[in-house]
A = this chain, B = another copy of it.
């Protein structure tokens, strides 16, 4: 079993800065450890896949987003766009929930390139066969 390629499946249903950075940092780290990574974006999480998405802190902390991003940059946390590029380079797979797409009136062209639009069944199939499953808020 230790020789089988590991796999990680994540669900992301929120779109705040913390919920956006965490799955991508986990994804890039896992992929760099040679694991297959699948991320399913649903509900508000879908916003993360939108072109020009800009992460914001949750609730009233939103006003501190700029400060937070500056601090993250200072301690060398990659920016969100950089994480996204890294994830793509590592072959991380992105899935958009087809039901959420309809609820939020989104079409494929609203999303960044390389996203597969799937139903919950397709993702569950992947998740049930993964070593690690995380529901990131």
**Residue positions of A touching B, CB distance < 8 A:** 6, 8, 11, 13-14, 18, 22, 25-26, 29-30, 32-33, 35, 42-44, 59, 68, 71-72, 75, 77, 99, 102-103, 119-121, 124-125, 127-137
Contact = CB atoms under 8 A, between A and B. Distances in A.
A25 B13 CA distance: 13
A22 B42 contact: yes
Nearest to A99: B77
Number of copies: 3
A48 B44 CA distance: 20
A72 B11 CA distance: 20
A131 B9 CA distance: 12
A72 B103 contact: yes
B75 A102 contact: yes
